[in-house]
Amino acid sequence: MSVDKKTLLEDSLLLVEQNFYFLHIGAFLGKLSKTKDLTNESLFVVKKCSEDRAYYFNPDIIQELLNDAKNRRWDEISLFEYFVDFNAFRGICMAMVEAFRLENEFMEFMKEKLGDEYENFYDILSFIRNVLSHNTQAEFKLNSKDFDGTLKRIRRMKRDEKVSLHFVYARQLPEIASPGDDYGLNLSIDFGSLKEGMEFLSVISLWELFMVSELCFNLVLSFKARYNIEY
């Protein structure tokens, strides 16, 4: 692998890991903001950007977000959690798609672990990345550009338009400890049936987005361990 490709791969894999960490700390802070009254804390926040420059955050906006979280039920997503989750999903899928595109040992590793569903996983990741990168609606309504390219690719390759991913950790990734023998992910997307205006979360659920993100993270960890990669 050339130095440039090696660097690109390492950057992509690191981005997957960082976004997954971000997802976790975001979940913790989201829970904390619902269960603890943080509005009595000092809301003065300043970020030093250089020796002579600093940015001062607006305490009224912080107060508004804390109030939003405090008024939510524990099982209801707050505005903070919403942006943490979907930005992390987008970052993970974006980085994985870029890693897929590099012809190197990571691609071969993924083909080994995913088998016949290698292309399916790529399609699913691309779809998630497209929706979360292009959409400006809070409900995440589908646009044709989110899936047209993937559908054309599937048809060009003469593959089934109903794309499935069945992944069981105990069988396909035993080096990653899983909570049970049947733990994994089982999802399908019928790209031939997708229409403009459909709600994204009716095509792939929030739980499935978490599971896809976790799978990306664990695949990266397994790959790094096999090839003794550190960065």
Q: Which range marks the domain in which residue 70 is found?
A: 3-227
Distance CA 77, CA 30 (A): 9
Query: Residue 151's CB: how many other CB atoms inside 10 A?
Result: 17
Neighbours of 192 (CB within 10 A): 13
**Structurally, how many domains does the chain consist of?**
1
H-state helical runs in 36-140: 59-70, 79-100, 105-114, 118-134
pLDDT over 60 (residue 1): no
Mean pLDDT over residues 74-102, rounded? 93
At residue 47 the predicted structure's pLDDT band, cuts being 50, 70 and 90, is very high
**Would the pLDDT of 157 be above 70?**
yes
Look at residue 137 and tell me whether its pLDDT is greater than 90.
no
What are the beta bridge partners of residue 185?
A: 167
Mean pLDDT within 106-128 = 96
pTM of the model: 0.92
